[in-house]
Amino acid sequence: MKNKKYQKQTIPYLLLLVVMIGVLVFYNLSQYKVNTFTYDEFIIELSKQSIKNIEITPKNSAGIYLISGQLKDYSETESF
């Protein structure tokens, strides 16, 4: 009997904890800004040497690559 009463008292606190964690995760993920470039825009930025860092990842064997990185004037939470 005492155990069921204990469970009923902790359920609202656990639910509140889950909601708070969800809000924090959503808030942190919403701060990141991802810009999209066309191929021409990427080549222009590359020729101006304004790229701070770049990561090229092969997507599959068909010769498709995923390119991501940051420009020099981007903030820490901004990327392309």
Give me the residue label for tokens 């991501």: 68
The rounded mean pLDDT for the chain is 83
Per the structure block, which two tokens stand in for 9? 């008292």
Instruction: Give the other-Cβ count within 10 Å of 42's Cβ.
Output: 16
Domain ranges of the chain: 1-31, 33-80
Per-residue confidence (pLDDT) for residue 64, from 0 to 100: 86
Tokens of 28: 């942190």
Q: What is the mean pLDDT of residues 2-27?
A: 82
Mind listing the pLDDT tens digit for each residue in 10-19?
A: 888 899 999 9
The model carries a pTM of 0.52
Average pLDDT over residues 20-44: 83
Question: Would you place residue 2 in the very low, low, confident or very high pLDDT band (cuts 50, 70, 90)?
Answer: low
Give the SS3 label for residue 49: coil
Residue closest to 49 by CA, chosen among 80, 79, 72: 72
Look at residue 1 and tell me whether its pLDDT is greater than 60: no
Neighbours of 70 (CB within 10 A): 19
